[in-house]
Amino acid sequence: MTLYRTDGLPSDLVAPVLVAAFDGWVDAAGAASAAAERLASEGVLVATFDADVLFDYRSRRPILDIIDGTLTEIVWPAVALHRVRVGGRDLLVLHGAEPDFRWKELGRDVLDLCLRMGVIQFVSIGAIPAAVPHTRPVPILANASAPGLLHEAETQGPPGLLRVPSACLSAIELAVIGSGIPSAGFYAQVPQYVGGPYAPATIALLQHLGQHLSVSFPVGDLEEEAEAQRRRLDLAVEADEDIREVIGRLEAAHGGQESLSGEDLAAEIERFLRAEGSEGGGTIPPA
């Protein structure tokens, strides 16, 4: 028995690409899940997944609405697959909350859906905190299952061995790769000092994904949101001489002019965040 439920898979798909993102791990500032939700919002529901076996409701509690003292609705964590057509391309968008359980089984079921619908490529999107400044374009790290999948402008990296705690998305991607379906991934680098949603990273992911697929994704109100966040960040940085120095060093390192010590940077940013937190600020507000 599969983890997914469907009223019937579409039979008119042409060379579909599956784009996947979950919230939580490897989703700094919610940038990737926001991009996936935006893509899926105009789509048609293809399949849902059994939330009761995928989630630990005590670690990810459903949201309860209480209106005038009356229990009215519970919003449960979910994983869904939507179909959307953009610029003549068929896309399948796998999105939602990162599951707690049964990752291997979920990977097999997503692979089953890919094979049944003729998916020609799997693309994961994510976001990671990084020592990058908000004053520069959002860098994108890329990975690919085979040479030739990335365009010349897409930089694969980082080089060498990188050993990190895995995300559910990676477990699914490996299951898909094992079947021979090509895979690529794009990960936005979000400034470590940003708190809350970060529209520039969501825009960068949508633009990079669009370039990879040779389509254009509208970003709509995200551009105005990004501009407003930039202004707020600039004001917050301008008010603190120490953090201005940190940003300057980040800009220099980003331009290849200086090798910045990760330990020194982390210590300075933590000092700044503690100072902001003592005044009720937490991290620098993005909006």
User: What CATH number did the domain enclosing 178 receive?
Assistant: 3.40.50.10900
Regarding whether 235 and 144 lie in a shared domain, the answer is: no
What does the pLDDT read at residue 258? Answer: 43
How far apart CA 38 and CA 74 sit, in angstroms, is: 23
Regarding whether 236 and 105 lie in a shared domain, the answer is: no
Regarding whether 232 and 120 lie in a shared domain, the answer is: no
Tokens 């983890």 map to which residue?
3
Taking a C-beta distance cutoff of 8 angstroms, is the pair 126, 204 a contact? no
Instruction: Give residue-wise pLDDT tens across range 7-40.
Output: 999 999 999 999 999 999 999 999 999 999 999 9
Instruction: For residue 286, tell me if it sits in a domain.
Output: no
Listed residues 183, 201, 219: the one ending a domain: 219
Instruction: Give residue-wise pLDDT tens across range 205-226.
Output: 999 999 999 999 999 899 999 9
In which domain, by residue range, is 139 found? 4-219
Q: Where are the alpha helices (DSSP H) in the chain?
A: 31-40, 51-54, 103-117, 168-178, 199-213, 222-238, 241-254, 262-278
Taking a C-beta distance cutoff of 8 angstroms, is the pair 23, 94 a contact? no
Percent of the chain at pLDDT exceeding 90: 70
Regarding whether 140 and 240 lie in a shared domain, the answer is: no
Cis omega (within 30 of 0) for bond into 182: no
Regarding whether 264 and 153 lie in a shared domain, the answer is: no
Taking a C-beta distance cutoff of 8 angstroms, is the pair 76, 62 a contact? yes
Taking a C-beta distance cutoff of 8 angstroms, is the pair 35, 125 a contact? yes
Regarding whether 161 and 51 lie in a shared domain, the answer is: yes
What does the pLDDT read at residue 283? Answer: 55
Listed residues 204, 219, 234: the one ending a domain: 219
- For the chain, the average pLDDT equals 88
How far apart CA 14 and CA 243 sit, in angstroms, is: 50
How far apart CA 197 and CA 144 sit, in angstroms, is: 27
- Structurally, the chain folds into a number of domains equal to 2
Given a cut of 50, is residue 120 above it in pLDDT? yes
CA proximity to 47, closest of 100, 103, 8: 8
Regarding whether 194 and 73 lie in a shared domain, the answer is: yes
Instruction: For residue 284, tell me if it sits in a domain.
Output: no
Regarding whether 230 and 215 lie in a shared domain, the answer is: no
Instruction: Give residue-wise pLDDT tens across range 124-176.
Output: 999 999 989 999 999 999 999 998 898 876 767 777 887 888 999 999 999 99
Regarding whether 266 and 179 lie in a shared domain, the answer is: no
Where b means 16+ CB within 10 Å and e means fewer, 231-244 reads: eebeebbeeeeebe
